[in-house]
Each structure stands twice: as structure tokens, then as C-alpha cells.
Amino acid sequence: MDKNITLFEAVDNGDTVLVTDLLKEKPSLEAKNKEGRTALMQAVYKRNNDIAILLINAGADVNAQDDMKNSPFLYAGAEGNLEIVKKALNHGANFGVYNRYGGTALIPAAEKGHLEIVKLLVNTPGFPKDHINNLGWTALLEAVLLSDGGRVHINIVAALIDGGCNVNIADKNGITSLIHAKKQGYVEMVKLLEEAGAK
């Protein structure tokens, strides 16, 4: 157990050298702290990619969820950490593990304006790009509903369309992305959606 405490301390202190040394002793990479976080989850929260990559290379689980239902893969997507998203995709990212809203990594990335992550995930074979979360929203619906209609989100809507998202999935009230875009006066989004066959 001491090894694991030391590993968490090394992560918290951002001590890459100590983490490297500790990994030689083969500590449990899935041990969790009081918030249910693994050392990898902690490194991703701290946005210490060097340490996170060391842990992933050592076999740490990119899908292990903490008490908030965040996993390294999900959280990196939501926070726009492209390097860790890419690394997780190459190390067994599980598309069937969802955040506390029942969503994928793509949905908050679309909402928060992380264009490069949206482009990556929507074009990743097998990724559930039309997944509907507990709020009844897809990534496309969130990109329209929870944005200011600005350039970044216009580009995200375009990327989701280009990636093959279904433009006609409606929310729980039967309202589509196109209707939401029209209601909010997002002219460019309306044009993109209509050109993609949205109703």
C-alpha cells in the first residue's frame, strides 16, 4: 500500500523522475484514493501529460472511473486534452463507458468547443457519434443548444456533419438541431444543417 501512496504523492507533486522509478517496482496502477481516482486519473486532472503517458505506457486503465464517473479518456475529451485522448484511443479506450450524464467523450467536447477532439472522435471507426445522453442530447444537439453560435461551434457542427452524424435526431421534446439553430438565430448553422438534409 505504501508504494501506492507514494505513487499518488509523486503524481500530486508532478515528480516525473520519482514516478518513473516507482513504476519499476510494479505498483498497483488501479489503486484508488478517497475520491475513487487512480494515479492516472489524478495525473489527467492535474493535466500532467508527461506523467499520464508514463502511467498509460505502464498499463494503467484509461477507462477506470472515479466517484464522479470521470475516466481518463472521458475527462481528457471534455477538457480538450488532445494528447491524452489520442493516447487513450491507442490504449483501449472503451466507447461504452459513459460520464455522469450518460455521455461519451465527444458530447462535452462538442459543447465546450474542442474542435480537434471532435474531428478526431467523429472520424474514429466504431465511435458512437450519435449517442444520446441522459438529457436526451447528441453531440450535434449540444453543439447547437449549448453554444453561442460563434465560429468555433459553427466549425464543430460542420465537423460533426462531415463525420457522418445523423442530423435529424431530435431531443426529448422532438426538436431537432435545425429547429434549435433556427430558434436561436444561428444562420450559418442553419445553412450547414439544411445542406446536410436536416429537417
- Are 150 and 188 in contact by the 8 Å Cβ rule? The answer is no
Q: Which residues contact 22 (CB under 8 A, 6 or more apart)?
A: 3, 6, 7, 10
Q: Give yes or no on whether 1-94 and 107-199 have one common fold.
A: yes
C-alpha 93 chain-centroid distance: 11
Q: Would you state the pLDDT for residue 8?
A: 95
> pLDDT tens, 94-145?
999 999 999 999 999 999 999 999 999 999 999 999 999 999 999 999 999 9
What residue type is assigned to position 11 of the chain? V
- Are 82 and 50 in contact by the 8 Å Cβ rule? The answer is no
Fold of 107-199: 1.25.40
Q: Residue ranges of the domains in the chain?
A: 1-94, 107-199
Q: Is pLDDT of 36 > 90?
A: yes
Q: Would you state the pLDDT for residue 43?
A: 98
pTM exceeding the 0.85 threshold for the entire prediction = yes
Q: Is pLDDT of 154 > 50?
A: yes
- pLDDT above 90 coverage of the chain, percent: 97
Mean pLDDT for the stretch of residues 16-20: 95
* All three cell numbers of 39: 494515479
Angle, alpha carbons 131-102-191 (nearest 5°): 40
If you classify domain 1-94 with CATH, what class do you get? mainly alpha
Q: Would you state the pLDDT for residue 9?
A: 94
> pLDDT tens, 160-191?
999 999 999 999 999 999 999 999 999 999 99
Q: Is pLDDT of 3 > 80?
A: no
Q: Is pLDDT of 1 > 60?
A: no
**Cα diameter, the chain:** 60
Q: Is pLDDT of 91 > 80?
A: yes
